[in-house]
Amino acid sequence: MGFHIPVLENIFHIMKRNGPNMGLFCYIQKSIVYIAVYKVKLSDEHLQSLIERTEYETWFLEAVYALAGQKIKPDATDTVFYSSFDLSYRKSCQVVILKGSTGSWQSGFLKAGAPLIFVSVFKLLDMLMEWIIEINGHTVNFRFSVKQKQLNGDLSFPELIEQRPWLKGRLIGLYNFLEKFRSAIIHHSQFSSLDGLLEIKSTKATNALCISSHQLRALTEVVVSTIRCISKVWTFEHYQEKYLRFHLDQISFLHQNPLLSQKTPVHVFVRYYQSKNEKTLDLQRVKQDLDQRYCDYDLSFDLTLIIVTDGTAEQAFCFPWVAFSGSPAIWENRDDWEQFQIPLPQDGYIPS
């Protein structure tokens, strides 16, 4: 990415004005250069503070959804096996993570406990916003109106948020919009919950707010994932960003921002078996097959390559999507594979 001289001069001016404790993120969209400045350097103490203050609510929400078969942290949805010994599709193991179980007390709790889940999610969001205010050197006021004014002002957000204006605007939008409905539950008990549909009435809003169980789960994933990734408890994988965008689209009526038009993301684990004397990998066949199977999804996949000699697995390499999606040359130089080597899979499966 190259910049013209006037743009570079502006960058240097920004850096000089803000001093050494700042970060700078630049990107180009439709020939326009955007420059985002984030002044806050997050120390280990900052991150530990966020982890500690959000520890109970994040544990509670993760545990409740996990018990009901609706694990919050996004993961691969399928494992697909291919082999250069057999050009046909080999095996698919479906692992459901977005559809909950039914008929259990856990899924029943998600329906009956919707008000508690809503309040817990907003509390997490509130603690995140208070933490952002504090790391900017400001005193946190207990009044929501004061905090909202600060957040809509000139605060620096953590890099993960600051680099993504679409995320920053929607988190603030959620905070501004949901506060009055949280107060209606806590202070006035103006809500009803029937079969997972939560309805909240607030004197500060013209219409009641109705949230389905799926929308409440999307809200939960947005808030919990953001906090977990900022605090580095979770690694922010590329497909998690897609999940964030997708779930934000499901609750656009809550943050009141335009749709991001994110297709349903799906991340797949691919295992590919290849003879040791083969020099190339037929990645095109894998992509064509997956594109057909997931034609309505925003697809990405990690690829585990198993090198086989005389029916015995000798080596395994795991290539993440970001390593090869934009750099097909990686398959041409085996000297670069060492960094991706992993232990052999414990299941011992070898295609015949």
The type of residue at 118 is: F
| Pair (120, 235) in one structural domain | yes
| Pair (33, 94) in one structural domain | no
Assess if residue 281 is contained within a domain.
yes
Span 137-147, pLDDT tens digits: 999 999 999 99
CB 80 within 8 A of CB 88: no
Rounded to whole angstroms, the Cα distance separating 221 from 121 reads 9
Least confident of 45-49, 258-262, 331-335: 331-335
pLDDT at 203 over 60: yes
User: What whole-number percentage of the chain has pLDDT above 70?
Assistant: 77
| Pair (184, 322) in one structural domain | no
pLDDT at 183: 92
Q: Identify the domain containing residue 89 by its residue range.
A: 78-98+266-342
pLDDT at 94: 36
| Pair (18, 138) in one structural domain | no
| Pair (327, 291) in one structural domain | yes
| Pair (249, 139) in one structural domain | yes
Token pair 């080597």 in the structure block, residue: 341
CB 297 within 8 A of CB 276: no
Assess if residue 73 is contained within a domain.
no
Residue 211: φ, ψ to 5°: -125, 125
* DSSP codes joined into one string, 261-309: -PPPEEEEEEEEEEETT-----HHHHHHHHHHHTTTSEEEEEEEEEEEE
Crossing angle of helices 55-67 and 105-112, rounded to 10°? 130
pLDDT at 196: 79
How is the beta sheet containing 341-342 ordered, strand by strand?
86-94, 78-83, 265-275, 298-309, 312-319, 341-342
